Structure 1
């Protein structure tokens, strides 16, 4: 199965979605399964994993309700307050849903030390009780802290979103490359080839701009721990769905058929259990 490991749905709200500013007119509207399903079909993608874009329990309920109505949504990475004393109760609220596969927090917006906070780490520890994954959404300067987090929980499956958002148009930063290498040393961490087209200056790019970043992810994580994600509809700021998928396919053209199939779906199915 070809599976998109990372996309979003939302009912656009200018207050809740304040991160979608005036420069992002292409995504300042609702994006729902009826918008995505024909796009997936046109690109030969059979299913997707819907990832939270808002930090509320209502967001998790919203995504799971969509998944109930649409078979092509194979899994949901939702949100709970991992810092809450009652985090296990929040997880238990959703744990029986077969498509609730993981949790994410928008750590890129949090202060230094957030991932090392005992309250947050208590929440990470609770994920194992419910056999849930954790998506790491960070920026480059947080890679070292992320390595400390994943090292403290060797039995917890983690996946890095968007390669920690490197500044693609500036070329590869050795600090980013080192941070990715350190994180990849932990076998419980996978990585999504996602979210790169919007990490470009004025959203202008050529396929070769992404090649060194994807090649570095491939050399550090290996083909068995990488997964394709479109980051739709956010990707629409810089590229359409087919372009995003073609970037990954073109850079990975030298891999074996089995390795490409893993990155384009099999690895995500195994990681998320969907």
Structure 2
């Protein structure tokens, strides 16, 4: 079993300003030594470390941790995809086989059509030559641009993080569902069943809150293009690791053993080309 989405950091209150005072439980360091026993307790054999800061220093930090900790099977890092020298930077990182993909924190961009920027598109087009995937991190209001975006790059492997963070608290599916189904029609696009508990009522969420959204994701992407991710340690704001995993394993228990195995690891291994 593979956790397709988690983070590490040495907490820095300035760099990590998104971790606000009320998030005390995650305002500290989280490193492989903290995660290893948690994965072991939950029967998870490996993970993919995903960037949380937009800097090459972050990419270097995660690659070093992956090199030192064999259970970290791959890294989704960051390079400036808008930069004129993006080819050069990607060529530099090509020497690190543990770098599997790139992510940009598009949810933090004020332009709802950021994904459609010409300079950003040039960076996305450069990924294929280096065999790198792209993680799409957005909010629901950015979904229309995402649908247009993925159609422009039909051969680029992409994965939607956190189901695009729908409103689990109100259960509002309209709009979100239409765009998720449109994304699912693009065979190069996968979806992570991750980051859900922190988008729900973090004090009072119930497993049933997620079911209508998971139904849409399963219909749109099928078991062949879904993957489990914990979003640890961010998930700790609302749930422990076992609770997060149980939301997914309980939901997919209706599927065949082979389909469950795909969602809980097989798809991540294939998508990220994990050893």
- Calculate the TM-score normalised by the size of structure 2: 0.98
Find the aligned partners of 1:118 and 1:257 in 2 and give their Cα distance. 43
Q: Which residue of 2 aligns with 1:9?
A: 8
Equivalent residue for 1:57? Answer: 56
Aligned residues of 1:55 and 1:80 also touching (Cα < 8 A): yes
| Residues 113, 142 of structure 2: 8 Å contact kept | no
- Which residue is equivalent to 2:114? 114
Residue in structure 1 matched with residue 139 of structure 2 by the alignment: 139
- Matched with 1:97 is 96
Aligned to 2:246: 246
Which residue does 2:211 correspond to in 1? 211
Q: Which moved more, 1:90-99 or 1:24-33?
A: 90-99
Distance (whole Å) between structure 2 residues aligned to residue 203 and residue 229 of structure 1:
21
- For residue 122 of structure 2, give the secondary structure of its aligned residue in structure 1: helix
For residues 93 and 204 of structure 2, the distance between their equivalents in structure 1, rounded to whole angstroms, comes to 40
Residues of 2 paired with 1:92 and 1:70: CA distance? 24
RMSD between aligned residues? 0.7
1:271 aligns with 2:271: yes
User: Which blocks of at least 5 consecutive residues in structure 1 are unaligned?
Assistant: none
Partner of residue 195, structure 2 = 195
CA shift for structure 1 position 173:
2.2
1:31 aligns with 30
Distance 1:112 1:25 in 2: 30
Q: Distance in 1 between matches of 2:203 and 2:14?
A: 25
* C-alpha distance after superposition, 1:118-153 (max 9, x if no partner): 100000000001010000000001111001111001
- More displaced 10-residue stretch of structure 1: 184-193 or 165-174: 165-174
Structure 1 length-normalised TM: 0.98
SS at match of 2:159: strand
Contact 1:48 1:72 in 2 (8 A): yes
Q: Contact conserved, 1:172 with 1:213, CA < 8 A, in 2?
A: no
5+ residue gaps in structure 2?
A: none
CA–CA distance in structure 1, aligned partners of residues 140 and 125 of structure 2: 24
Tell me by how many angstroms 1:179 deviates. Answer: 1.1
Verify the 8 A CA contact 2:112 2:141 in the aligned structure 1: no
CA 266–60 in structure 1, closer or farther in 2 if over 3 Å, else same: same
Give the superposition deviation at 1:202.
4.1
Residue 97 of structure 1 and its aligned partner are, at CA, apart by 1.0
Q: SS in structure 1 opposite 2:199? A: coil
Question: Do 2:46 and 2:71's aligned partners in 1 also have CA atoms closer than 8 Å?
Answer: yes
1:22 Cα deviation from its structure 2 partner:
1.1
Tell me the equivalent position of 2:18.
19
Asked if residue 80 in structure 1 is aligned to residue 61 in structure 2, the reply is no
- 8 Å contact kept, 1:52–1:79: yes
How much does 1:203 deviate? 3.8
Deviating above 6 A after TM superposition, structure 1's stretches of 4 or more consecutive aligned residues are: none
Mapped partners of 2:202, 2:216: distance in 1:
24
- How far apart, CA to CA, are the structure 2 residues paired with 1:14 and 1:133? 30
CA–CA distance in structure 1, aligned partners of residues 54 and 125 of structure 2: 19
Give the Å deviation of 1:192.
0.1
1:204, distance to aligned residue in structure 2 (A): 2.2
Deviations 1:87-114 (A, max 9, x none): 0111111112111000000000111221
How many residues align? The count is 273
8 Å contact kept, 2:101–2:133? yes
Contact 1:101 1:272 in 2 (8 A): yes
Q: What corresponds to 1:224 in structure 2?
A: 224
